[in-house]
Amino acid sequence: MVNRTNKNLPSKFDDFPFLYKERHIKFGSFARRTKIRPLDDIDLIITFSASDDEGNRATYSCNSYSGTCYIFVPEEHKTLRRFCDENGYLNSRKILEKLKSYLSEIPQYSQAEIHRRQEAVTLKLSFYPWNFDIVPAFFTVKEENGRNYYLIPDGNGNWKKTDPRIDQERVTNINQKQNGKALEFIRLLKHWKRKNLNSISSYLFENIVLNFLEEKNLTDDNLLDLCMFFDYLQSAIYNPVYDPKGIQGNINNLDFKTKYKVSEKAKTDKLKIYEADRFEKEQKHKKAISNLKEVFGTEFPDYE
C-alpha cells in the first residue's frame, strides 16, 4: 500500500495511526449530488497511511473469489500492530472502535452520540442537524490493472475494496451527457422510491436509473421521461445490475418476490403518469396533479 505519513489526529493521541490526508474523500449520494431531503448525513472516508515514521509498512492481499482483503502488519510497525490479531492481520473492528473512542474525546464532539456500525463510525452532533458516517480506509498502490482502491471495513473484521471516485465520475459524465438534467431526474425518482420501495437499496436503485440514462436521452417532457423509465424498470429489475466499479459483480440480489413487486409498481405508476399526461393535454390540471400525488406522495405540490 502507499507509503505516506502525515500529522496525527489531535496530538494528544500519540497512538493514533498516521493519516493520509490527500486521500480523504466524501462518498455516497451526498457527494454524487443525488441525495434527497432531508440532507441529514454525510459519508466520509478517512484514509490512514500504511507506514509508520520509521518506514515499516503494512501490505495487503485479497481473495479474488470472496473479495475479502487482509492487511498484514509487521511486528516492527509502531502504530498499526496494536490493532492486529494474533497472526499480525489488521482487524478493522479494532480500528473502528479506536476511532470511536478518539472522536468521543474531542471537546466539540463531547455531546455527540457515537456508535460503531459494521463499516463506519456514526457521529451524531447535538448542535448540528447532520450526521457523519466516518469510514476508515487505506489507499492501495496501483495493481496490475492500473487501478488504486480504497480498502474499507467489511463488517467481519477484515477489509474490502471500493472506489467511490468511479461512482462520482459516472454520475458527472451522465449528467453532462443529459445536459445537466440527470441529477434532478435521479432525485425525483428517489422520492418515488422512498414512498413506494423501501425494500430496494438506494445504491442499487440509483444504478438502475443511471443504466437507463446511459441508454436513453431525456426529453423536455418530464412525464414522457417518467413513462419511459417506468417502462424500462418493469423488465430491468429482473436483470443483473453490475457494480460500475467492477468490484462486486451483480449487485441486484433482490429475491423474485421483491423484483415482481417493483415491476408491478412500475407498471401501475406508468399508467398513472400516462393518464396524468393526458389530463394535462386536456387542460384538466387538477386531475393531473391528483394522479402525480398518487405516484409521488404528499410531498408533490398541490394544485393551485
Question: Could you tell me if residue 150 is inside a domain?
Answer: yes
The predicted structure's pLDDT at residue 114: 59
CATH code where residue 115 lies: 3.30.460.90
User: What percent of the chain has a predicted confidence (pLDDT) above 70?
Assistant: 82
Which DSSP symbol is given to 118? S
| pLDDT for the residue 80 | 93
Task: State residue 206's pLDDT score.
Answer: 93
User: Is a pLDDT exceeding 60 seen at residue 191?
Assistant: yes
Last residue of a domain, one of 161, 196, 218: 161
Q: Which residues form the domain of 109? A: 21-161
Residue with cell 428517489: 190
**Are 156 and 192 in a shared domain?**
no
Q: How many domains does the chain have?
A: 2
Q: Do 221 and 100 belong to one domain?
A: no
CA 31 to chain centroid, in Å, comes to 9
Q: Is the pLDDT of residue 269 over 70?
A: yes
d(CA 6, CA 52): 10
Share of the chain above pLDDT 90, in %: 51
State the pLDDT confidence band at 10, using cuts at 50, 70 and 90. very low
Determine contact, residues 234/271, Cβ cutoff 8 Å: no
Integer angstrom CA distances of residue 195 from 188, 192, 235: 11, 5, 21
Name which of 113, 158, 150, 123 is nearest 247 in CA terms: 150
C-alpha 208, offset from chain centre: 14
The residues, ordered by sequence, that sit 6+ positions from 115 with a Cβ below 8 Å of its Cβ are: 100, 121, 122
d(C-alpha 23, C-alpha 31), whole Å: 15
Q: What is the distance in angstroms between the CA of the first residue and the CA of the last residue of the chain?
A: 60
- Statement: residue 282 has pLDDT above 90: no
**Residue 260: which region, alpha, beta or left (left: phi > 0; alpha: psi -120 to 50)?**
alpha
Statement to judge: residues 213 and 286 lie in one domain = yes
Residue 11 in any domain: the answer is: no
- Domain assignment present for residue 14? The answer is no
The DSSP bridge partners found for residue 125 are: none
**Sheet strands (E) in the chain:** 25-27, 41-48, 59-62, 68-72, 113-116, 121-124, 131-139, 150-153, 159-162
**Mean pLDDT lowest among 126-130, 149-153, 224-228, 269-273:** 126-130
Mean pLDDT on 83-109? 85
> Angle at which helices 182-196 and 202-215 pack, to 10 degrees?
140
pTM recorded for the entire structure? 0.84
Domain end position, chosen among 161, 177, 198: 161
Whether 150 and 228 have beta carbons less than 8 Å apart is answered as: no
Distance separating alpha carbons of residues 213 and 216, to the nearest angstrom: 5
Q: Are residues 196 and 266 in the same domain?
A: yes
Q: Looking at residue 121, what is its pLDDT?
A: 84
User: Worst-scoring range by mean pLDDT, 9-18, 61-70, 183-192?
Assistant: 9-18
pLDDT score, position 4 = 44
User: Stretch 212-240: mean pLDDT, rounded?
Assistant: 95
Examine residue 278 and state whether it is found in any structural domain, yes or no.
yes
The pLDDT confidence band at residue 288, using thresholds 50, 70 and 90, is confident
Q: Which residue has the cell 423509465?
A: 229
Tens of pLDDT along 26-82? 655 544 555 544 545 677 888 999 998 888 999 999 998 899 999 999 999 988 999
Chain segment 164-182, per-residue pLDDT in tens: 999 999 999 999 999 999 9
Total Cβ atoms within 10 A of residue 180: 10
Cβ–Cβ under 8 Å, residues 97 and 104: no
Verify that 45 and 120 share a domain, yes or no: yes
Average of per-residue pLDDT values in the chain: 84
